Structure 1
Amino acid sequence: MFGRLRSLMTTVLTPAARVLLRLGVTPDAVTIAGTVVVTALALTLLPLGHLLLGGVLIGIFALLDSLDGVLARLSGRTSQWGAFLDSTLDRVSDAAVFTGITLYFVLHPDVPYAAWGAVAALACLALGGIVPYARARAEAVGATARNGIAERTDRLVIGLAPIAFTDVGLPMVAATTALTVLAVASGVTVGQRVTTVRRQLVKVAP
């Protein structure tokens, strides 16, 4: 769903990538810097209750996620290593975001539906790691599993936006409901990918 913004962001980020290229900045440096910043924001601002500020800043850096890829293409440095590093560090950023949300509910037990929110956020954290793992393992055994209803960008937006807007009046029940829906969607996505891989491998089995 929200992943369709990637092509638009590539166009928007190309001028910035050209500037970074002239300054000698490497794609790997951009990938690592983005992960460090998002992780730091998620594990400080969110647990401390600065939800709107944290959500906005993390959202901005999430939109810049394509910058390293644009820079790699412009510099001619696209490689399997770069793709591996980017994918691996994306998992670190995602885990930091949902860990930050979980810690917020744990550290603020007086917040409405705190227990529900903590459990839902923890489920998102666990299942969010399984979704890309299922795709990676599928490719390792010669199958393809890119289907599902909870892609990375979708998970970040659905999980982070409602909790951020509780700072400006959105009921906490809306945020906890969104996290619950996201956890269910992630679980469904895992099931879809497992089913897809099984169907592909059964067809080629002797």
Structure 2
Amino acid sequence: MLNILRPAVTRVMTPLGRALARWGISPDVITTIGTLGVVASALVFYPPGHLFAGTLVITFFVLADLLDGVLARMTGKGSTWGAFLDSTLDRLGDASIFSGLILYFVLKDEPEIVLAAVALFCLVAGALVSYAKARAEGLGMTANVGIAERGERLVVVLVAAGLSGLGVPYVLAAGLWLLAAASAVTVVQRMVHVYRQAVVE
């Protein structure tokens, strides 16, 4: 769904990509810096409850996930290693966001264990969504289906956390429950899709 926004975002980032290319900065450097920024921001801002500030900083670094692709196309330095690095570090960034929220729920004066468990489920289910696609492609099939791909999952969790940081009640809980359900459905959708390719067809 969010792929329709990629061309517009790419146009916005193209001037910055040109500047980085002139400075000789490689896409892999942007990927690494972006991930380290997400990890540090999530684990520094979220556990003590700075949800809005944390979301703003995380969103800034998440945009590097698009910038590295723009830079790779401009410089012609896209590579198999770069694609592997990007996908692998994406998992680390996603895990840090949910880990930060889990710590936030657990470290509150009145811990919210149920929501911590839901956030943990979102973390695991999100990893399964990505693994199902990667494993299917490794076996020569496809699994590019589902209602909650990575972009959608990031938007839901970051918007919910940011609005919660602004004082909107129940929005983070609602966002996490919605994300948990959507991620579970997506895992099932991908398993069914691969089953049809491997067994039925």
Query: Mapping of 1:49-128 within 5 angstroms?
Result: 49-110=49-110, 114-128=112-126
Gaps of 5+ in 2: none
Alignment partners' CA distance in 2, 1:50 and 1:14:
32
C-alpha contact 2:30 2:64 (8 A) present in aligned 1: no
- Other-structure match for 2:176: 179
Deviation at 1:5, TM superposition (A): 1.9
User: Does the alignment pair 1:138 with 2:132?
Assistant: no
Q: Deviations over 1:84-112 (max 9, x none)?
A: 1111101110000011111100111426x
* Percentage of identical aligned residues: 49
Asked if structure 1 preserves the Cα contact closer than 8 Å seen for 2:133 and 2:143, the reply is yes
Amino acid aligned to 1:184: A
The two structures have a TM-score, normalised by structure 2, of 0.95
Q: Which runs of 5+ in 1 are unaligned?
A: none
- Aligned-residue offset at 1:7: 1.7
* Deviation of the 1:122 alpha carbon: 0.7
TM-score normalised to the size of structure 1? 0.93
Cα distance in 2 for partners of 1:147, 1:127 equals 15
Partner of 1:166: 164
- Give the CA deviation at 1:59: 1.4
Superposed CA deviations along residues 129-164 of structure 1, whole A, max 9, x for unmatched, are 110100000011111001000011111111121122
Segments of 4+ in structure 1 off by > 4 A? none
Matched, 1:188 2:185: yes
Distance in 1 between residues matched to 2:68 and 2:179, nearest whole Å: 27
1:20-59 map, 5 Å = 20-59=20-59
How many residues align structurally? 201
Please tell me the residue identity of whatever aligns with 1:81.
W
1:198 aligns with 2:195: yes
Residues 109 and 176 (structure 1), Cα distance of their counterparts in 2 relative to 1, 3 Å cut: farther
